[in-house]
Amino acid sequence: MKFNIIKKREIFINEDYKDLFSNNLTFEDIWNLKNLKFFRKKRYKIIETYDFKNKKIFIKKYLSYSEEAQKEWKNILFLWKKNFFTLIPVFFALSRDDRAIIGTEKVEGICFVNALKNKSIEISFFISKIAEFLAKFHKAKLFHQDCYLNHFYYDEKEDKIIIIDVSRIKHKPVLEFYYQIKDLAQLKFSFSVYLENKAEKFWDIFIKEYFKINETKYNKKLFFKILNLKTYMIKRHTERVIARGEEI
């Protein structure tokens, strides 16, 4: 799927939303929109929501690191072009002082974490869907690099997985095996965080489904040895960050 992105002054906007703002809108006008509802803050990002014609728009404000925002916007458009479902783009803008702002539609689906809490979807089914998605993602030589369970949504109506937080995506990197292992290790670590004592059971479901589509060309014993080592390194790093009182 391809979106037609037009430019209104300093704002890049999905043509489907061309009536969202006036032609004279500036970066500061969007930054200071009224009736925004606070959603959450994480380090240098503030996420707010804005209701527009019965649709909820998520507005991510970057207080700095505007290059990350640029990558996220480009990757959102790129993934749609590659037929992988992610956030629906609404608008993007940069300021001259390293701030940036991205608007996307609310995801039509349920996050894995919420599905786990509410028991609204069978977990083994959700895990299998993630495995299918990630195997196809990797076969397309795409690697997420922030590959945790809370970044996966499932849309029951459309029967599709939606992936979010895509600023770090790599496409056709030189060291494909490294990035594949990193994605899988991040995911395996998040299994232990969210699924606790059932982590191994569901990981077995995941990896079997994953290999049905994207079988490794490497020795399986070596593959899992490297994967488990990387998972341990992520766990140790996370524990150290938490111990220092820093935000993950």
Supply the CATH number for residue 153's domain: 1.10.510.10
* 248 domain-assigned: no
What pLDDT is attached to residue 248?
66
Domain that residue 70 falls in: 5-105
Minimal CA–CA distance to 72: which of 191, 200, 188, 164? 164
* 146 domain-assigned: yes
Q: Between 177 and 23, whose confidence is greater?
A: 177
Summarize pLDDT for 204-240 with one digit per residue, the tens: 999 999 999 999 888 999 999 999 999 999 999 998 9
Cα separation, 190 vs 116, whole angstroms:
13
In this predicted structure, the answer to whether residue 51 has a pLDDT above a threshold of 90 is: no
Q: Do 67 and 142 belong to one domain?
A: no
For residues 126-137, average pLDDT: 97
| Residue 48, beta-bridge partner list | 38, 59
Average pLDDT value for the chain = 91
In the 3-class helix/strand/coil scheme, how is 51-100 assigned residue by residue?
EECCEEEEEEEECCCHHHHHHHHHHHHHHHHCCCCCCCEEEEEECCCCCE
> What confidence category does residue 23 fall into, taking pLDDT thresholds of 50, 70 and 90?
low
Summarize pLDDT for 192-201 with one digit per residue, the tens: 999 999 999 9
CB contact at 8 A, 91 and 17: yes
Top mean pLDDT of 28-32, 47-51, 114-118, 225-229 is at: 225-229
Q: Do 158 and 91 belong to one domain?
A: no
CATH number of the structural domain spanning residue 28: 3.30.200.20
In this predicted structure, the answer to whether residue 54 has a pLDDT above a threshold of 90 is: no
Q: Do 124 and 78 belong to one domain?
A: no
Residue that finishes a domain, picked among 87, 105, 123: 105
What pLDDT is attached to residue 10?
81
Q: What percent of the chain has pLDDT over 90?
A: 69
SS3 140: coil
Top mean pLDDT of 105-114, 201-210, 238-247 is at: 201-210
Q: Do 164 and 143 belong to one domain?
A: yes
